[in-house]
Amino acid sequence: MTKHRVLSLPILILYRIYQVCVMAPLMIVVTVLSSLAVLIGTFCGGARFWSYWPGVIWARLMMWLTLCTVTVKGRENVKPGVSYVFVANHQGAYDIFAIYGWLGHNFKWMMKKSLEKIPFVGLACKVGGQIFVDKSSPTAIRNTMEKAEKILAGGMSVVVFPEGSRTRTGRLGRFKRGAFLLATEFRLPVVPITIDGAYDILPCTGKVPVPGHITLTLHPAIVPNADSQHDQETLAALSREAIAQSLPEDQR
């Protein structure tokens, strides 16, 4: 099983000093400024631009501050101007930075309702039109799906982690059907995304990140057929299979 990267003691000490004195303070400043940019920019107009691009810059700066890099494979599988349902494995917190910063396609997140409470970030996400998944009641779930449907109907894409939460072991988990319900409802192409390397930077059980490298693999789109040949279970299985192909054997 993949293990959290271990640094030598002298490098670890220097890196911890850097984290406390430089990285952490700058991350807070960058997060607040990015959130304010979303709030002010969206209020002034151009929500499609301001709900996306400040997040791209924020994500890239967060990766840079952590001394992490990203490689993207399969970018030719994503066409400009096409609405997609992106589904990705969820290795850790740095999945967010990698996708936001390097996907290169405007989208909305489908994210946990609890994230709405994060200072500045939660409000910016709400104003920016991100989709908070509320599972508190059947009515709340229906409202969440209706908001997602409106966004997709408007030509926007969405990014979903179908596992629902970060893996605790590094292994790929079971996929839930919500994202694939949206895809079949609107006959939208599903693009599986493999995230490899985020678990080594900061796993669910870790407390502080370490430098590392993340590879994003964008797989060919899976298009639901009009004759319902691709139902939700089939789409989920095909997406999981595609994602697993680009993961190390011990993470599949």
* pLDDT more than 90, % of the chain: 60
Question: Is the model more confident about 7 or about 56?
Answer: 56
Integer Cα distance of 105 and 93 in angstroms: 20
Integer Cα distance of 64 and 58 in angstroms: 10
Neighbours of 159 (CB within 10 A): 25
DSSP annotation of 154 reads T
Residues 31-55, mean pLDDT to the nearest whole number: 93
CB 4 within 8 A of CB 25: no
- What Rg value do the Cα atoms of the chain yield, rounded? 18
Identify the helix (H) or strand (E) that includes residue 195.
strand 190-196
**Mean of all residue pLDDT scores within the chain:** 90
Integer Cα distance of 217 and 66 in angstroms: 21
Question: Is the model more confident about 215 or about 208?
Answer: 215
Model pTM score: 0.90
Q: What is the pLDDT of residues 210-233, one digit of tens each?
A: 999 999 999 999 988 766 556 888
Is it the case that residue 74 has pLDDT exceeding 90? yes
Q: Is 234 exposed, middle or buried (0-12, 13-18, 19+ CB in 10 A)?
A: middle
Which pLDDT score, from 0 to 100, does residue 1 have?
45
Structure tokens that stand for 250 in this block: 């011990």
